[in-house]
Amino acid sequence: MDATLRGRGIEARIPDSGLLADVFGILLLLMSAKLSLETHGVGCIDNLRRCIGGIQKRYDLQNCDFDDGTVCNKLRVDGIVRLLEYVQGEVRDQLNDEKSAYEIKICIDHLTNLQSIPRKRW
C-alpha cells in the first residue's frame, strides 16, 4: 500500500504509511535541533543540513519546507544533545540510514565537547 502526503504542493510516495510518519517526525525533530542551533550560533549546523537533505532526497521530499517556524527553536544546547541522541537512534533503527546517523553523531560529539555535557545513553 502506498501512502501519499499532499500539502503545500508536496506529493511523496512511501510504501509504508508508518514509515511516512517516522520520516516526517524525524525531519521535524532534526529541523527543531537545526533552528535551535542557529538561534544559539553553535556549530555543526552543516552536518544537520546534510542529514536533513539526505533524508529528504532519499524519500523524494526535497520540496517539503520544514523551516517555517512551526517547530521549536528555543531548545537549550543540552536539550538539543538529548534530542539528537534520540533522533540518531530513530534514524538508525527506523530508517536504516547509517550515513545520516553518522552526521548526527558528529553534531552530538561537537556539542558535547563544546558544552562539556555529560552524555546519557537511552
pLDDT in tens, 2-34: 333 444 444 455 557 778 888 988 998 998 898
Q: pLDDT band at 76, cuts 50/70/90?
A: confident
Question: How do the domains of the chain map onto residue ranges?
Answer: 3-115
- Other C-beta atoms within 10 Å of 34: how many? 24
CB 66 within 8 A of CB 28: yes
Q: Which residue has the higher pLDDT, 58 or 67?
A: 58
Q: How many CA atoms lie within 13 A of 104 on its CB side?
A: 29
Q: What is the pLDDT of residue 14?
A: 58
Across 95-109, average pLDDT: 95
Model pTM? 0.75
Q: What is the pLDDT of residue 122?
A: 42
Distances (CA, A) of 1 to 4, 19, 25, 48, 60: 10, 12, 20, 31, 17
For the record, the C-alpha cell of 115 comes out as 558544552
